[in-house]
């Protein structure tokens, strides 16, 4: 069994008005050191697989087909074995 | 001519489209539930507005995998006609039938108001009853209508005259001030390379009867109907 953690963010070239607005709110709380906030998505899922390579392939396919829109988003993932 | 309005769970402009096509345009039209797998040889498919699958994940991202979408893609590939309005536009982009994506409105607000559109190409099957550069008034109602694509795609859209509507002022001026959602290049609607698939954020079905405030949207339905008939 593997556990996957996937982070999806808007591409650098894509404006993120949500991130900008949240950053303004953070500034209004007095946290002036905060800069360049981007709001993204986080997925956690378990993969019933014993083969790491296969699990990774499946995960990439899921991201490409559904979880991520490559026109506007980038993603990274972590895969760890769990018992 | 025959038309089909696809109904996804969460569609909410399906009945408006069906009503206009049937009662205003006098065209034979049926609802088609997203789980169906047959379009029964219709000429025009309408992907209506709404919140298919609650807009979960990304607008249109899950609707794209509904069983009927395989048929809609075949229908489009065969050169038949598809119009996606609002959420329907989002579905077309997620399905890859049109290029680009729609982001959250620049203001982060859901916007529901009439806007002016400039007709950028009046030679398409969806705009042949409109004039080049004509300004029409059609309402928008969306939270994620901020069109985005990469530079190369934008160049292709511009170069091939595939941008069909741009947001503008009442007299046709294009500027940031009249762009409600931050759309790249003020894009409100685009068409595919072949010219048979149109996607637009504004709702022509809400502006097709004078009792509802105007008939500018009706020109789009008239264009398709006269072309197909």
d(CA B10, CA B159): 36
For the segment B97-117, what is each residue's pLDDT rounded down to a tens digit?
999 999 999 999 999 999 999
Please name the residue that has the structure tokens 């999806």: A8
CATH code of the region A2-81: 3.30.1280.10
pLDDT tens by residue, B8-29: 999 999 999 999 999 999 999 9
Sorted by sequence, the CB contacts under 8 Å of residue B42 that are 6+ apart come out as B2, B3, B4, B30, B75, B80
Instruction: Examine the pLDDT at B73 and tell me if it is beyond 90.
Output: yes
What's the gap in Å between the CA of A22 and the closest CA on chain B?
11
Indicate whether this complex's ipTM tops 0.90.
no
List all residues of chain B from 76 to 115 with a beta carbon under 8 Å from chain A.
93-94, 99-101, 103-108
Q: Which residues are CB-contacts of A29 (< 8 A; sequence separation ≥ 6)?
A: none
The predicted model gives A61-81 an average pLDDT of 96
Interatomic CA distance for residues B143 and A17, integer angstroms: 12
Q: Where are the alpha helices (DSSP H) in chain B?
A: 14-19, 67-77, 87-94, 151-159, 218-228
Strands of B44-47's sheet in order across: B28-33, B2-7, B44-47, B81-85, B197-200, B187-191, B163-168, B111-119, B135-142
Check whether B122 has a pLDDT greater than 90: yes
Predicted local distance difference test score (pLDDT) of residue B7: 98
pLDDT of residue A41: 96
Lowest-confidence pick of A16-20, A60-64, B73-77: A16-20
Cβ–Cβ gap B182/A17 under 8 Å: yes
If one counts every other C-beta atom within 10 angstroms of the C-beta of residue A54, the result is 12
Q: What's the mean per-residue pLDDT of chain B? A: 97
Query: Of the candidates B88, B83, B41, which has an alpha carbon nearest to the alpha carbon of residue B66?
Result: B88
State whether A71 and B105 contact (CB < 8 Å). Answer: no
What is the spatial distance between Cα A66 and Cα A45, in angstroms, rounded to a whole number?
14
Nearest-angstrom CA–CA distance, B147 and B184: 6
What's the CATH fold of domain B2-228? Rossmann fold (3.40.50)
Chain B CB contacts of A71 below 8 Å: 93, 99-101, 148-150
Across the range B85-91, mean pLDDT stands at 98
Mean pLDDT of A5-10: 96
Top residue of A17, A43, A75 to mutate, by most chain B CBs within 10 Å, is A17
Residue B197's φ and ψ, nearest 5 degrees, are -125, 115
pLDDT band at B229 (very low <50, low <70, confident <90, very high): confident
| Spatial distance between the Cα atoms of A45 and A59, rounded to a whole number of angstroms | 10
Range name among A11-15, B81-85, B199-203 with the lowest pLDDT average: A11-15
Q: In chain A, positions 2-61, which contact chain B (CB-CB < 8 Å)?
A: 10, 13-15, 17-18, 21
Residue B127 above 90 pLDDT?
yes
Q: What is the three-state SS of A18-56?
A: HHHHHHHHHHHCCCCCCCCCCCCEEEEEEECCCCHHHHH
Question: Over chain A, what is the mean pLDDT?
Answer: 94
Residue whose C-alpha is closest to residue B130's, from B118, B147, B141, B142: B118
Å between B78 CA and nearest CA of chain A: 23
Domain boundaries, chain A: 2-81
The ranges assigned to domains in chain B are 2-228
pLDDT digits (tens, 9 = 90+) for B47-71: 999 999 999 999 999 999 999 999 9
- Determine the 3-state secondary structure of B220 from DSSP: helix
Span A54-83, average pLDDT: 95
Say how far apart CA B43 and CA B50 lie, in whole Å: 23
Q: What is the pLDDT of residue B213?
A: 92
Q: How far apart are the first and last CA of chain A?
A: 6
φ/ψ (deg, to 5) at B88? -65, -35
B48 part of contact set with chain A, CB < 8 Å: no
At CA A71, angle to CA A67 and CA A72, rounded to 5?
Answer: 75
Residue-level pLDDT at B152: 96
Widest CA span in chain A: 49
Residue B156 with chain A: CB contacts under 8 Å: none
CA distance A40 to B189: 27
């Amino acid at each position: 069994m593997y556990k996957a953690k996937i982070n999806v963010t808007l591409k650098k070239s894509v404006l993120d008005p949500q991130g900008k607005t949240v950053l303004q709110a953070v500034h209004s709380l007095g946290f002036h050191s905060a800069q360049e906030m981007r709001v993204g998505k986080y997925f956690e899922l378990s993969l019933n697989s014993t083969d790491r390579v296969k699990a990774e392939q499946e995960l990439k396919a899921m991201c490409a087909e559904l979880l991520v829109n490559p026109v506007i988003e980038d993603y990274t993932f972590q895969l760890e074995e769990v018992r | 001519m025959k038309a089909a309005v696809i109904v996804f769970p969460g569609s909410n402009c399906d009945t408006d489209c069906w009503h206009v096509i049937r009662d205003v345009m006098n065209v034979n039209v049926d609802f088609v539930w997203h789980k169906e797998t047959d379009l029964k040889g219709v000429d025009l498919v309408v992907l209506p507005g709404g919140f298919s699958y609650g807009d979960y994940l990304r607008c249109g991202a899950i609707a794209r995998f509904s069983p009927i979408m395989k048929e809609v893609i075949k229908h489009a590939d065969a050169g038949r006609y598809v119009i996606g309005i609002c959420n329907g536009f989002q579905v077309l982009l997620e399905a890859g039938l049109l290029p680009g994506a729609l982001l959250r409105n620049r203001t982060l607000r859901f916007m529901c108001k009439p806007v002016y559109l400039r007709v950028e190409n009046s030679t398409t099957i969806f705009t042949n009853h409109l004039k080049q550069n004509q300004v029409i008034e059609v309402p928008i109602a969306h939270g994620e209508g901020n069109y985005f694509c990469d530079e190369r795609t934008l160049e292709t859209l511009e170069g091939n005259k595939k941008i069909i509507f741009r947001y503008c002022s009442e007299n046709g001026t294009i500027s940031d001030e009249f762009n409600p959602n931050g759309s790249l290049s003020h894009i409100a609607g685009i068409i595919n390379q072949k010219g048979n698939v149109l996607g637009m954020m504004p709702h022509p079905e809400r502006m097709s009867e004078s009792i509802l405030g105007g008939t500018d949207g009706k020109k789009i339905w008239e264009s398709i109907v006269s072309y197909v008939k």
